[in-house]
A and B are shown apart, each in its own frame.
Chain A
Amino acid sequence: MSDTLLKVRDLKIGATVYPPGEKPHDIEIVHGVNFDLERGKVLGLIGESGAGKSTIGLASMAYGRGGVQITGGEVWVNGRDILKTSYGDIRKLRGGEVTYVSQSAAASFNPAKKIMDQVVEAAVEQKKFSRKEAEKRARELFAKLGLPDPDNIGERYPHQVSGGQLQRCMTALALCPEPDLVVFDEPTTALDVTTQIDVLMAIKEAIADTGVAALYITHDLAVVAQVSDDIMVLRMGNTVEYGNTDQIINNPQEEYTKALVSVRSIEHEEKQPTPEPVLSVDGITARYKGLNFDVLHNVNVELHPGQTLAVVGESGSGKSTLARVITGLLPPRDGEITFAGRKLSSDLKGRTREDLRELQMIYQMADVAMNPRQTVGTIIGRPLEFYFNMRGAEKRKRIVELLDEIELGEKFIDRYPAELSGGQKQRVCIARSLAAKPKMIICDEVTSALDPLVADGILKLLLDLQKIEDVAYLFITHDLATVRAISDSIAVMYQGRVVRYGPKSQVLSPPFDDYTDLLLSSVPEMHLGWLEEVVAHRKMESAGN
């Protein structure tokens, strides 16, 4: 007898879409997917946004998010097709046989209830355990997942624990009812790399200890390679490639999989510093109004014309605050900023139009950085009118030039932001900042919200544009692979301080300081067993100390 827990056959999923200016209509987003999952095994579902991976994961609980509906196929769990079973049976399945770990535990925990109440709820509701037994099991799981003070952490409210801890609590929530299958939906994506590695290890060990099967959904192939037995690569609702992890990583057959495996392959030769920096930040100390501590302590960095300075750090390290200080949104308490040979006013009001023009900014969320009611042409044309007084045909000609530079072309000129993909939107934002002919652009996590292949395209574009326009980038990111790909010099920030600063080759070569070492070794690498190696290495080091 085969030990198949989950069998998916020709699964088709549809949704109703509401495109602007058109009638709502139904589309198919998953076009017939097949896979099997044995008890105790882990299947990784990988793909970019829109690949349908979360939708497929939720279909194993007979659940459609929003207007999503399962339109065809079979989903067999424990020997029955859950698409044909009763609603009462589905409720027993959810939270009993199959449980779910979401990307954002912070949003998925009810803020008004204690963690323990929420962790044991499904187990008690499904009559798997009594409340007392469930609580005992929850405490064991808290301990197993490496949560501090496992006996009492359940008495806290979600806002009283950190993001990484909450993500482990969510894993405990999913494991508490002793399910047969857990659907992990990007469980570490929202975490910092140094936190991700601990949570990843905790999840992996919990899966191994409890013998539960798992669907592990992520866009990060390096992550999924660490935890899964098999991998299915999805693209736009179709299976691209399905095989065991070793084969997918080391011997991918399809072009798309090869591209995913080799992503982050941009080579960028480091440039030598010039005598005159375009931006120099001297001794900046800053704090936010109402806080009684500094968020930046004596920050000193320089950026040379036509080069890229990457400011890297985890959330809360002060890297975005630095951008706010440079743009004048947050006047510093101390220190000064020299830009293009002149001292910049610390306050935005004191800056000239020339200062504003030469220092542009691109944001993480291209979506909200554009007026949804303006066309691409209007958006890019605005700085041309504002700074260069261009009108009519002259303006249009320049807009088309810029559209060509960002590889979109003239046909995009009359489109609205809603009609663009994430990557295209970011390109329009880049064109808008280039329209001002700046000397320097601050790029704040500009690729973080994008899929890896799309992000790669944006990075390549930025590098090409740098050559053409001779513009300098201050590139803020938490992603070390991005840093490697595009920077000439690097500043590593930690708790408001620059802990390491210099040319790329120097910053990324040993000997490292402790924090940079931790940061670098936490970036998932695309080979099997990486997670174990890092964890073993760290254990050895801490034993050695």
Chain B
Amino acid sequence: MHPILKLVSQRLALGLLLLLGASALIFGMTEALPGDAAQAVLGQSATPEALENLREEMGLNRPALTRYFEWLGGLVQGDLGQSLTNKLDIAESVGGRLSNTLFLAFWAAVISVPLAIFLGLLAVRYRNRWPDKLISAVTLTTISIPEFLIGYVLVYFVAVKLGMFSPLAMINDSMTLGQKLNSIALPVIVLTLVVLAHMMRMTRAAILNVMQSAYVETAELKGLTNFKIIYRHALPNAVAPIVNVVMLNLAYLVVGVVVVEVVFVYPGMGQYLVDHVTKRDVPVVLACGVIFAAIYIGLNMVADIVAILANPRLRHPK
């Protein structure tokens, strides 16, 4: 078997195992919380008899392990259970929300990843000169300001004062792509500003590290221009660390956008999760937790696999 195939399938198996562990952890943690679904439905003033009856009805009296595997079995078949509060099928209501969140994350990534790598390359090209310092200063500033503040500042100045873009990022299926993009422009900008610094600095550091190598000197002595040296000879060898940090930030774009979604009243997963946490809707929290875990693990697995593929020694064994 080709060593790459072996390594990649190992990573895949490991990812699945990790996901299984994460699901058990999430389930266990909601179990450990005081109160349960029956308590949540009936509220504080419920009589013990009513609680007991409801528990019997909902099957909550059975051992946790049995319930876990039932839940897991449903999960595998795409059945995320039912919301306690509105009795809707979770998979259905999450579906639309998830695609909204991914839509937002996708456009934020499309802008921020190439921009971050380009700025990183630029910073290396002009290292320790003013462009480098400017890029570092600006990106550090934007990462240091809380995202809700950037959000409100943008809403006030860009949307309210300048009248560009919508202050609320409401989207629905009847909108055209252009309308949707216009609508999510502000949250995309906020997210981009938040994730830019991390990726840009990693790109800069990874490439600078590679720039010390003898083969970069060889490239210099071939009379290549600085930019060609950086992207032809340094970048290919800095892919692994860059992809790692890019994937971490992509994961953040999906699971960490709660605050931004709330600021812009965007109908995504974050809003949905926050709404149901306040209502103690355990099945929804469970479902969201597992989806977030899957996205995190999936993206990091992609990073691992890209890092493996980027290694010529593994791609082309002796």
Chain A residues proximal to chain B, CB less than 8 Å: 61, 63, 65, 90-96, 99-100, 102, 104, 107-113, 118, 121-122, 125-126, 156-157, 159-160, 173
A99 to B218, CA, bound (A): 9
Q: Which residues does chain B contribute within 8 Å of A93, judged by CB atoms? A: 223
Task: Please judge, given known A-B contacts A91-B223, A125-B224, A160-B318, whether A108 and B312 are in contact too, CB under 8 Å.
Answer: no
B218 / chain A contacts, CB cutoff of 8 Å: 100, 102, 108-110, 118, 173
Contact at A122–B214, with CB atoms within 8 Å?
A: no
Please give the distance in Å from A416's CB to the nearest CB on chain B.
Answer: 25
Please give the distance in Å from A55's CB to the nearest CB on chain B.
Answer: 13
The 10 closest A-B pairs by CB, nearest first: A95-B222, A95-B223, A94-B223, A107-B214, A122-B222, A112-B236, A91-B223, A110-B215, A100-B221, A108-B214
A125 touches B222 (CB 8 A): yes
A94, A104, A112: the one contacting B221 at CB < 8 Å is A94
Instruction: Find chain A residues with CB under 8 A from B220 CB.
Output: 63, 94
CA distance in complex: A208, B280 (Å) = 85
Chain A residues whose C-beta falls within 8 Å of the C-beta of B225 in the assembled complex: 91
Q: Which residues of A contact B221 (CB under 8 A)?
A: 61, 63, 94-95, 99-100
B129 / chain A contacts, CB cutoff of 8 Å: none
Chain B, Cβ-Cβ closest to A65: B217
B313 to chain A: which residues have CB within 8 Å? Answer: 111, 157, 159
Closest CB in chain B relative to A110 CB, distance in Å: 4
Partner of A111, one of B215, B219, B222, B223: B215
Q: Evaluate contact between A113 and B217: CB separation under 8 angstroms.
A: no
Which of B215, B224, B232, B236 meets A95, CB within 8 Å? Answer: B224
Distance of A56 Cα from B44 Cα, bound (Å): 85
Interface residues on B, range: 20 to 34
Interface pair B236/A110, CB less than 8 Å apart: yes
B316 at interface, CB cutoff 8 A: yes
Bound together, the chains give a CA A26 to CA B318 distance in angstroms of: 46
Using a CB-CB cutoff of 8 Å, which residues 261-286 of chain B contact chain A? none
Mark contacts of B298-313 with chain A using CB atoms, 8 A cut-off: 1 yes-contact digit, 0 otherwise.
0000000000001011
CB–CB B214/A96 < 8 A:
no
- Per the bound structure, the CA–CA distance linking A118 and B215 in Å amounts to 10
- Assuming the contacts A102-B218, A109-B218, A113-B236, asked whether A157 and B312 have C-beta atoms less than 8 A apart, the reply is yes
**B215–A109 contact, CB under 8 A?**
yes
Point out the residue from A96, A107, A111, A122 that lies within 8 Å of B312, measured CB to CB: A111
Is the CB–CB distance between A110 and B223 below 8 Å?
A: no
Give the shortest distance, in Å, between B220 (CB) and chain A (any CB).
7
Query: Contacts A109-B218, A113-B236 given: A96-B213 contact, CB under 8 Å?
Result: no
B215 engages A121 (CB within 8 Å): no
**A160 — which chain B residues lie within 8 A by C-beta?**
316, 318
With A110-B237, A157-B316 already in contact, the answer to whether A126 and B217 are too (CB < 8 A) is no
Question: Is B198 on the interface with A (CB-CB < 8 A)?
Answer: no
Given contacts A96-B223, A108-B214, 13 further A-B contacts (CB under 8 A): A63-B221, A65-B217, A91-B223, A92-B223, A94-B220, A95-B223, A108-B217, A108-B218, A110-B215, A110-B233, A110-B237, A112-B312, A160-B316
Report 5 cross-chain contacts, Cβ distance below 8 Å, ordered by A residue.
A91-B225, A104-B214, A110-B236, A157-B312, A157-B316
A102 to B221, CA, bound (A): 11
CB distance from A70 to the nearest CB of B (A): 15
**Chain B residue with minimal CB distance to A177?**
B222
In the assembled complex, which residues on chain A have CB atoms less than 8 Å from the CB atom of B233?
110, 113
User: Which residue of B221, B223, B236 has the most chain A CB atoms within 10 A of its CB atom?
Assistant: B223
B316 adjacent to A94 (CB under 8 Å): no
Distance between B127 CB and nearest chain A CB, rounded to angstroms: 14
Task: List the B side residues contacting A65 at CB < 8 Å.
Answer: 217
Closest to A94 in B: B223
Q: Which residues of B contact A91 (CB under 8 A)?
A: 223-225
B284 vs chain A, min Cβ distance (A): 46
**Are A110 and B219 neighbours in the complex by a CB distance under 8 Å?**
yes
A102-B237 contact in complex given A112-B312, A121-B222, C-beta closer than 8 Å: no
User: Nearest-CB distance from B125 to chain A (Å)?
Assistant: 14
**Which B residues touch A113, using CB under 8 A?**
232-233, 236
Q: Kindly list chain B residues whose C-beta atoms are within 8 Å of the C-beta of A108.
A: 214-215, 217-218
* A-contact 0/1 string along B205-239, CB 8 Å cutoff: 00000000111011111111100100011001100
The residue in chain A whose Cβ has the minimal distance to the Cβ of B237 is A112
How near does chain A come to B142, taking the closest CB pair, in angstroms? 32
